[in-house]
Chain A
């Protein structure tokens, strides 16, 4: 998982609470991504960022928010508006978005909301 850290590994929250997932990278990558993984559904893109202070919605952005104030950091907030937030969340980074760059993934955060 080298170079990308996510914390915490496991997170438990009550319904109605916002929660922020941390993602940090030391690869000097411009682009960062957040994915959600549910069993049998592969990975779905929530948000991505090409550069500091810029981010774009992915396929399932509703109920989520992000910020990119520093190149190294791309935190994801799961808001109370997200109807089914329990999932495994993966952060990734790459050199850029336009070229054929592979993405490097963090170890993930498993969020459980009850």
Chain B
């Protein structure tokens, strides 16, 4: 079974400082990893994904994430936080499809979310 852990319920960072939102995962095989952001009472917006290749993935709004296979982590980062980055961030994982996989292997598994607060 695949799983995702976001160890911090909340992260506070001062505006202009670098930010990191942590994510670790467990999955069989090579993972597909995603980050999404959610503003209050809204749907999720896709930020970036890792499929294969370069371990540093760049995404929307200046965010990037670093895939670390040995640590099974996919932390989200931004060099300089903005107040407008304050939101709920979700990490998600799924394993690669295989011919004999059941329907459940197509599911994305989401973490419980990390609330990011950027303080002016």
* In the assembled complex, B45 has its CB within 8 A of some CB on chain A: yes
Contact among A41, A90, A97 for B43, CB-based, below 8 A: A90
* Contact in complex: B46, A102 (CB < 8 Å): yes
* Contact in complex: B49, A1 (CB < 8 Å): no
Task: Classify chain A's interface size.
Answer: 20 to 34
Q: Which residues of A contact B111 (CB under 8 A)?
A: 42
* In the assembled complex, A56 has its CB within 8 A of some CB on chain B: yes
Minimum CB–CB distance for A31 against chain B, Å: 8
Contact among B36, B41, B107 for A110, CB-based, below 8 A: B41
* In the assembled complex, B56 has its CB within 8 A of some CB on chain A: no
Q: Which residues of A contact B108 (CB under 8 A)?
A: 45, 103
Q: Which residues of A contact B49 (CB under 8 A)?
A: 100, 102
Minimum CB–CB distance for A3 against chain B, Å: 11
* Contact in complex: B112, A90 (CB < 8 Å): no
* In the assembled complex, A63 has its CB within 8 A of some CB on chain B: no
* Chain B interfacial residues counted at CB < 8 A: 22
* In the assembled complex, B51 has its CB within 8 A of some CB on chain A: yes
* Contact in complex: A100, B44 (CB < 8 Å): no
Contact among B36, B41, B51, B97 for A98, CB-based, below 8 A: B97
Q: Which residues of B contact A87 (CB under 8 A)?
A: none
* Contact in complex: B46, A103 (CB < 8 Å): yes
Minimum CB–CB distance for B37 against chain A, Å: 11
A30-58 residues with Cβ-Cβ distance < 8 A to B are 40-45, 48, 50, 56, 58
* Contact in complex: A43, B41 (CB < 8 Å): no
Residue numbers of B with Cβ under 8 A of A are 9, 32, 34, 36, 41-46, 49, 51, 90, 97, 103, 106-108, 110-113
